[in-house]
């Protein structure tokens, strides 16, 4: 098995075009892909102001609030209250989406993937405790506490990209398990 540490301290904050927040990419595929040509992408977004989300043609998204009170989204005209932390929410990323913060800034874990091409959408789960992981590629992101996997210790917002054999995750705080990654 290979396990690659993706340290939160090494991520660069990229301001949004609308000025409402910043994004820190955890990993994308293919490596070096930009916002218009990724197959899948995982990031942490700090939302500091109300406003529209960027549209991504032919892309689906799973958004998980990991800090803050949450937000009210209007996704393709449908109101959606996203105020339960650590509860993944799925929606299309290519329809008009507006955000209204409920009580100040939030941090979201975003998992986005391009539809089609025979790809299976990734799963996103938030766990706490011990979990046996299958021998499929996966991404582990520590959210509100430390986690240990494949000989790595993850602090909050650190991630581990796993390939090869199965592993055991010991999550002392809530931890996102995203997989299988393509």
Per the CB < 8 A criterion, the answer to whether 130 and 168 are in contact is yes
Q: To the nearest whole percent, how much of the chain has pLDDT over 90?
A: 84
pLDDT score of 130? 97
User: What is the value of pTM for the model shown?
Assistant: 0.94
pLDDT tens-place string over residues 158-178: 999 998 778 999 999 999 999
Question: From the CB of residue 99, how many other CB atoms can be counted at a distance below 10 Å?
Answer: 21
- Domain spans in the chain, listed from the N-terminal domain onward: 11-114, 123-179
One CATH from 1.20.5.440, 3.20.20.110, 3.10.20.600, 2.60.120.10 for 123-179:
2.60.120.10
Using only the alpha carbons of the chain, give its radius of gyration: 16
Q: Which pLDDT score is estimated for 1?
A: 65
Same fold, 11-114 and 123-179: yes
| 115 vs 104: CA distance, rounded Å | 33
pLDDT of residue 28: 94
- Nearest partner of 169 among 145, 47, 181, judged by Cα: 145
CATH architecture of 11-114: Sandwich (2.60)
Classified as helix, coil or strand, 35 is coil
Q: What is the pLDDT of residue 161?
A: 95
Structure confidence by residue, pLDDT tens digits, 99-119: 999 999 999 999 999 998 778
Q: Please list the residues that pair with 130 across neighbouring strands.
A: 170
């Amino acid at each position: 098995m290979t396990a690659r540490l993706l340290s939160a301290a090494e991520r660069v904050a990229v301001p949004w075009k609308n000025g409402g927040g910043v994004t820190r990419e955890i990993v994308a595929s293919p490596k070096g892909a930009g916002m218009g040509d990724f197959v899948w992408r995982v990031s942490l977004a700090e939302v500091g102001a109300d406003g529209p989300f960027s549209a991504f043609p032919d892309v689906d998204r799973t958004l998980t609030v990991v800090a803050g009170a949450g937000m009210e989204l209007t996704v393709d005209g449908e109101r959606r209250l996203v105020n339960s932390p650590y509860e993944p929410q799925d929606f299309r990323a290519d329809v008009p989406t507006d955000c209204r913060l409920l009580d100040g800034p939030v941090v979201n874990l975003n998992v986005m993937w391009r539809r089609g091409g025979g790809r299976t959408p990734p799963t996103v789960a938030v766990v706490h405790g011990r979990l046996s992981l299958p021998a499929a590629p996966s991404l582990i992101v520590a959210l509100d506490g430390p986690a240990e996997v494949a000989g790595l210790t993850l602090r909050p917002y650190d991630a581990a990209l796993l390939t090869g054999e199965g592993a055991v995750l010991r999550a002392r705080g809530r931890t996102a398990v995203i997989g299988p990654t393509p």
